[in-house]
Amino acid sequence: MKINKFLFSFILIFAIVTFQSCENEPIDPDIILNNQDLDDEDDEDDVIGDSTGDYWPRAIGNMWNFNDANFGDVTYNMISTEEINGDTYYRFDNLVGQESWLRKTGDSYYIRTAVVGFPIDGYDVSTTFLTLRMLIDSAEVGEQWENNVSYTISYTPTVAGFPEIPDIDFSANYGFEMMGRDLTRTIQGTEYENVLHVKLTLTAAGNLTTVDYYYAKDVGLIEFASDGSAGTLMSYSLN
Instruction: Indicate the burial class of 131 (C-beta count within 10 angstroms; 0-12, 13-18, 19 or more).
Output: buried
Whether residue 17 has pLDDT greater than 90: no
Decide: 233 and 213 in contact? Cβ < 8 Å: no
Ramachandran region, residue 139 (left: φ > 0; alpha: ψ -120 to 50; beta: rest):
beta
64 versus 30: the higher-pLDDT residue is 64
To the nearest whole percent, how much of the chain has pLDDT over 70?
Answer: 80
Do the beta carbons of residue 173 and residue 146 sit within 8 Å? Answer: yes
User: With 50 as the cut, is the pLDDT of residue 47 above it?
Assistant: yes
Region of poorest pLDDT, from 30-39, 73-82, 124-133: 30-39
Give the pTM: 0.79
What does the pLDDT average to over 71-78? Answer: 91
Average pLDDT, the chain: 81
Q: How far apart are CA 115 and CA 99, in angstroms?
A: 10
pLDDT at 96 over 80: no
Beta strand 165-187 pairing with 144-157: antiparallel
From the list 113, 108, 111, 103, the residue with the least C-alpha distance to 58 is 103
Tell me the chain's radius of gyration from C-alpha atoms: 18
Split at pLDDT 50, 70, 90, the class of 92 is very high
Contact 209, 224 (CB under 8 A): no
